[in-house]
Chain A
Amino acid sequence: MSAINLTINELAVEVTPGTTILQAARQLDIDIPTFCYDPELAPNGACRICVVEVENARTLIASCVTPVAPGMVIHTESERVINARKVILSLMVANHPLVCITCEKTGECRLQDYCYRYGVTDSKYSGEVKELSLDDTNTFFVRDMNKCILCGICVGKCQEVVGAGAIDFTRRGFISNVGPAFEDSIEDSTCVFCGLCIDNCPVGALTPKYSLGQGRPWQVKQVRAICPYCGIGCNINLQVKDDQVIGVKPVKESPVNRGHLCVRGKFGWDYLKSSDRLTAPLVKSDGVFVEVSWEEAFGLIVDQIEEVKLRCGDDALFGLCSPKASNEEAYLFQKLIRSLGSNNVDSFTRHCHAPAVNALMEAFGSASMTNSIEELAETGAILVVGANLAESHPVLNYRVREAVRRSGARLIVAHSETIDLVDIAHHYLPLRMGSAVALVNSLANFIIEEGLHDRAFIDKRTEGFEIFRKEVSGYTIKYAAEVTGLAEDELRAAARAYAVAERAAIVSAVDTDRHADSANLVLALANLALLTGNLGREAAGLYLPYGENNLQGIADMGALPGVLTGYQSIKEKNVREKFARAWGVSINVKPGFTVTDIFKHGKKSGIKAMYILGENPVTCSGEHLETAAFLTDLDLLVVQDIYMTETASLADIVLPAAAFAEQEGTYTNTERRVQLSRKAVEPPGEAFPGWAILAELAGWLGFDWNYDGPQDIFAEIASLTHQYAGIDYERLNEQGLQWPCPKGDHPGTKFLHNGRFSRGLGRFSVVDYEPQAADNLSICCSKGHFNCQCLSENLSRHSVINTLRNNNV
């Protein structure tokens, strides 16, 4: 369609058909006030503040909902328009308590701003006003609905973006209000406390309790950081006043979360201020911790490490790295362990993510989620298998909803429980627990039978198809229906929906990792994606979002026993030589122990000393008592953490570390986006940033490390790591960069396997459905992620959001 020409305030502009008057005006930098407009929500047109004068139109026109027409002549600030806006503002003010003196929103209130702009001082329309009582009944935020101007943004966010549907308009006419059904309390509603309503309220109707009385907007410094919870890596602005974090707001400009958060990001940061924080190095003496100086602590560690090494060899030392450590911390951590002579460094991510990681490596040659978060919103079909994103990765769940809402994507949900996406799913497959592999295999088989597979892609880009085709042919729809308990027609319809979409994505998540046969399921899903050519393309792919904020990063950083940074194998001589040269030490050729080996074999593993960075194996390993006994028996246990965890309490030496907001560092999210998180406040007491502790300790151990800050460490990582080579702090400033980014002018990589799989050809694997024992399933699958979060729980149980967990359990 051809462009449309029109005139706004005497300026000519050319726009594409379908553009609204508001959007066209914004192209000309003409500012039209809005309250109820939000580009991601359905057109609303309720507040009317954006009305403009269109020549020859009968009435004023709401610019936010009206598409342009050829030859329109528009005035956005004519006398008629200004008069109408003044009346609208006066009407709002007449029914809005003018308590701006103490209102938390003062300074960033749009009603205030527009009244200022149009000189509306008070209202000549005084009369009846709303008199609703203040609602502070929920744990997280206060609702003063007398201030509400009924723009409906909160309702739109809650229903359309989040899908919680906790609030809607209640009553009608002059006494209209917004609230939960039957005007119940928020806590009794379906509210998930994501805070989107609060973050988008144009006036002061909704305020987080933590912000009350803490400071006015102009007193608050915004510090951009990365949320420390799941692998999505939402960008947040920490609200800082007087060296205290007093709130969190989402970053609208971030392609990762685009102004969205979940309850963890919005409300889960208060652990920073927890009184449980460690504030000084501690050494256990006669079973009791005593505070010591950093020098004393370092001196003791050095003595004991050297003693263990001397007595039991280099391999007696083991380093366990938390997937919440920054890239810089993880890099220095593995560098320290390796400089001490062994490759014994690993993380607990093996427990939950390794099966999936291995499966992806096998199929594609790269363990990462293939496509980006933002692409998911543009795909044509989404198959969600065994994932409850609303609990595990709410922000990704918003993208799935967006794909359905805005791109018209077909949604297929295969889950044994009625998860929230079922409401909008076109195909819901409530399969029997543990039967997902049979389901996915049957879909693949049906797609082949129907000739819906992508032959050209299979021929050119994959291997192993013929064997796969033969083996999977046993998975008839009839068989799958028996195993899964689903109707045959539903299976066929779902298979077609996925296969016929121009671009289709598969989403599976942490729940998958808890299936006993999760590796098989990931392979089966990989087969499905290969079969339909949904790889190496934008808005297609296989999404397996990680559960921890830097799980991707610590693996990239080589906190794994067999590889150095960027998955460079320890077995390769030139790799070892490269690192030996750079670090000035020799690299052990022998791969280290995995964490699974260590805790499985306990004492027999020969480990005598352990350095645990921000990890809590006593609660995470699954075998609490054995783990605790093993850790207690060690000759040396050093724990570096922000709290006295169950594990730290068993340590000989505990080092107090800074939390994410108290230090600078990078984190790599589940879509390989390296993001910079800034320092907002000072760590409490004697606590120090993790990288500084490690660098200092390295000095005490006699290594010549010289870093002025995390930026230097990152430069070293980039110099040794192909995927990170083109990245530096400067470039990370705005939106981060997705690796591989091999050169300084490389834009980063939005999706993987474009033109070529990391392993060359994509590989079909034959995977068989194996019936699972019932008891095995109930343990593995019955709990949602929020209640099972392992590492994140270390944070959340020191936060107000822990109340939700208790409620749910």
Chain B
Amino acid sequence: MYEKHLMICGATGCISSGSRSVEQALVKELENHGIRDRYRLVMGGCPGFCEVGPILVIYPDEVFYCHLTPKDMVELVEKHLVGGEIVERLLYKGPDVAVPVRFYDSIPFYAKQKFNVLHNSGIIDPESIDEYIMRGGYRAFTRALTIDSLTICEEVKESGLRGRGGAGFSTGQKWEFTNKAPGPKKYVVCNADEGDPGAFMDRSILEGDPHAILEGMLICGRAIGSNEGYIYCRAEYPLAIKRLKIAISQALEYGLLGENILGYGFNFKINIKEGAGAFVCGEETALLASIEGKRGIPRPRPPFPAQSGLFGKPTTINNVETLANIPLIVREGGAAEFAQIGTAGSKGTKVFALAGKIRNTGLCEVPMGITFREIIYDVGGGIKGGREFKAVQAGGPSGGCIPTELLDLPIDYDSLNKAGAIMGSGGLVVMDESTCMVDLARYFLSFTQKESCGKCTPCREGTMRMLEILNRITGGFGNPEDLDTLDSLAHSIKDSSLCGLGQTCPNPVLSTIRYFRHEYEEHIEEKYCRAGVCKALFSYKIDQERCTGCRACVKACPVDAITGEKKEPHEIDQGRCTHCGSCIEKCRQDCILITRVGREADVSN
């Protein structure tokens, strides 16, 4: 028996902020004290709060340490583990709490969250099937073995679960179609080709709770009458792939995969296929082609995969998060419980990845129907640096932006669609006044343009032309017809493209035009970028009255464009300035202003 469990976040986010060296330091320190074997040390799943990583949670003490460095381990071991005293210095202390807090339940970031899909993440050892089982794992699957396949489909339908990959189709219905499609051979495919910039929900689930995916696939296999599944996971997720492989071998060893599972005569095999990084392979038909070893390009539907999918056989394709919900739904009474959360049309919880200009970047799981305001201000802790919120991009490159006036919009599939965005897989990129909305649209379009597979004309040629127009506008060469051209081209691409990528990629452009048309007009007509992003469309100017002559900006300027004596107001040489923004970051007086090219300052940063 161990005295304590020490859960270090071993997900990709915390690993990149240094959790591996924290772990090594911890081990070393424990060994120094000769107490290594008293503790169970786990590189666990993601607790979501990436902003404050690396994170260490100590059970059963229920203490949440954050912002850790290897050096902290000396004190932590000595004080907490040896001395039994909490190291207050390493507890969470944000502007949203009065005093340092000790555990999840009192951190505001977690207050409005509801853990369904992530209920094991960060709690169990993702490489231990026993811990998964201890937390109720594989119970839903064993139940599924004893009930009729159509009953399972029916329960999933009753739960109201809709696909978490983006389009939001009823999962139960999808299963039922595949169940009823004729043929002895069927496939379950898990789409783990998460590719939206800034989105890492699926990765965290795969890394933190891989057995949940296997269980979801097993239940799906049982429901549709399939004995083989594929997980299509992008190769850029090596840790997820490693943990899946471990999970598969454990499940095989426990007889939860393979032949005649638990003596019920049900066979199931799971293969992992690593994707080579094409965004379009997240589109289901392109994904299937890629598994088949063909060029990863979409094909027309119908036939839908439920009729003719992988290798021409009926196939159900579900996203990671969708499958992770399944074990919760198929357990006894699970469907009804699931359906109690959420709105009329969107049930359950949704995991979002918070990124951009938000204070609490990270992962959160919230009930459907929560408002953007709650996510951004209560969970996310508001905007970084006290700036003004401008918009939030929901649904990545396929989604749209939600402006301030829609902050109270409840998040569900239908209201998001109405607002011109999509649920997508759950990426939320928050923007403040320093974000140029034209540049944002240009950024997402340059992403989709690069990722266009080239098969259909509107997407291949059209995204290029849209990008060229946006480059023109942000470069200061926009002309008044550009907005109409963009708008009509965007609508035609949406209306006539072959696959979801083409049909949704104009969304960021359309929604920014819809909500921030004035910014486009300013770029085109006044050749002015108020956010100070489009370099050709603004000048920096130093407010002579506020400048204290601290020389911070002079030192920061890489091209020596700023001059001025100490304690005298400085000046910027417009001919030299490259608009890199280094000065504005260093200025302590907020006296560097963004102005129209060749005009007086009128807006401060």
Interface residues of A (CB under 8 A from B): 43-49, 51, 59-60, 62, 65-67, 80, 83-84, 87-88, 91-92, 94-95, 124-125, 127-128, 149-150, 152, 168-169, 171-176
Contacts and interface: CB of A to CB of B under 8 A. Distances in A.
A84 B496 contact: yes
Contact of B456 (A45, A87, A172): A45
A149 B450 contact: no
Nearest to A93: B461
Given A45-B299, A59-B503, A91 B461 contact: yes
A45 B461 contact: no
Contacts of A173: 449-454, 460
B495 interface: yes
Given A45-B299, A87-B489, A94-B461, 5 more contacts: A91-B458, A169-B295, A169-B454, A173-B449, A173-B450
A176 B454 contact: yes
Interface of B: 278, 295, 297, 299-300, 302, 449-458, 460-465, 468, 485, 488-489, 492-498, 503
Contacts of A59: 494-497, 503
A44 B295 CA distance: 14
Contact of B449 (A94, A125, A174, A176): A174
A44 B454 CA distance: 13
A60 B494 CA distance: 9
A65 B298 CA distance: 13
A48 B496 contact: yes
B502 to A, nearest CB: 9
Contact of B454 (A83, A125, A172): A172
A60 B495 contact: yes
A45 B449 contact: no
Nearest to B455: A46
B454 A80 contact: no
A176 B460 contact: yes
A66 B303 CA distance: 9
A51 B449 CA distance: 22
Contact of B495 (A65, A80, A124): A80
Contact of B457 (A43, A66, A88, A175): A88
A48 B461 contact: no
B454 A49 contact: no
Among A48, A66, A95, A127, max chain B CB count under 10 A is at: A48
A92 to B, nearest CB: 6
Given A45-B498, A66-B300, A127 B464 contact: yes
B295 to A, nearest CB: 7
A669 to B, nearest CB: 36
Nearest to A49: B457
A65 B457 contact: no
18 contacts: A46-B457, A48-B497, A49-B457, A51-B496, A66-B300, A80-B495, A84-B458, A87-B489, A91-B458, A91-B462, A125-B461, A125-B489, A128-B468, A149-B457, A172-B452, A173-B450, A173-B451, A173-B454
Contacts of A47: 456-457
B468 A127 contact: yes
Contacts of B485: 124-125
Contacts of A84: 458, 492, 495-496
B453 A92 contact: no
Contacts of A49: 457
B300 A45 contact: yes
Contact of B302 (A67, A88, A176): A67
Nearest to A83: B492
Contacts of B465: 91, 94, 125, 127
A95 B451 CA distance: 19
Which of A46, A49, A51, A92 lies at the interface centre, i.e. has the most chain B CB atoms within 10 A of its CB? A46
A174 B464 contact: yes
B456 A48 contact: yes
Given A66-B302, A125-B465, A172-B453, A87 B460 contact: no
Given A43-B300, A66-B300, A87 B453 contact: no
Nearest to B298: A45
Q: Which 7 A-B residue pairings sit nearest by Cβ, starting from the closest? A: A176-B454, A45-B300, A91-B461, A87-B492, A65-B300, A125-B465, A127-B468
Contact of B496 (A88, A92, A172): A88
Given A43-B300, A66-B302, A174 B455 contact: no
A94 B452 CA distance: 18
Given A43-B300, A45-B498, A46-B498, A174 B462 contact: no
Contacts of B300: 43-45, 62, 65-66
A124 B302 CA distance: 34
Nearest to A53: B495
B413 to A, nearest CB: 14
Contact of A174 (B295, B458, B461): B461
Nearest to B498: A45
B126 to A, nearest CB: 35
A127 B299 CA distance: 28
Contacts of B452: 172-174
Given A45-B300, A62-B498, A87 B462 contact: yes
Contact of B460 (A62, A125, A128, A174): A174
B456 A46 contact: yes
B464 A48 contact: no
Contact of A91 (B297, B302, B450, B457): B457
A646 B278 CA distance: 62
B495 A92 contact: no
Contacts of B503: 59
Nearest to A95: B461
Contacts of B464: 127-128, 174
B455 A88 contact: no
Contacts of B497: 48, 59
A45 B496 CA distance: 11
Q: Give the residue among A62, A88, A152, A171 with the most B Cβ atoms within 10 A.
A: A88
Contacts of B461: 91-92, 94-95, 125, 174
Max count, chain A CB within 10 A of own CB: residue among B456, B460, B492: B492
- Residue among B449, B464, B493 facing the most chain A CB atoms (10 A cut-off): B464
B473 to A, nearest CB: 13
Task: Identify which of A45, A92, A168, A174 gathers the most chain B CB atoms within 10 Å of its CB.
Answer: A174
A150 B463 CA distance: 16
Contacts of A67: 302
A150 B460 contact: yes
B454 A174 contact: yes
B281 to A, nearest CB: 11
A49 B461 CA distance: 13
Nearest to A84: B496
Contacts of B451: 173
A48 B455 CA distance: 10
A606 B464 CA distance: 81
A48 B460 contact: no
Contact of A87 (B299, B450, B463, B488): B488
Contact of B458 (A87, A169, A175, A176): A87
- Among A51, A60, A92, A172, the one with the most B-chain Cβ atoms within 10 Å of its Cβ is A172
A80 B454 CA distance: 24
A45 B498 CA distance: 7
A360 to B, nearest CB: 39
A47 B463 CA distance: 15
A171 B503 CA distance: 22
A60 B496 contact: yes
Contacts of A127: 464-465, 468
A119 to B, nearest CB: 16
A152 B460 CA distance: 14
Nearest to A172: B454
B182 to A, nearest CB: 14
A92 B299 contact: no
Contacts of B456: 45-48
A62 B463 CA distance: 19
B335 to A, nearest CB: 29
B501 to A, nearest CB: 11
A88 to B, nearest CB: 5
B288 to A, nearest CB: 14
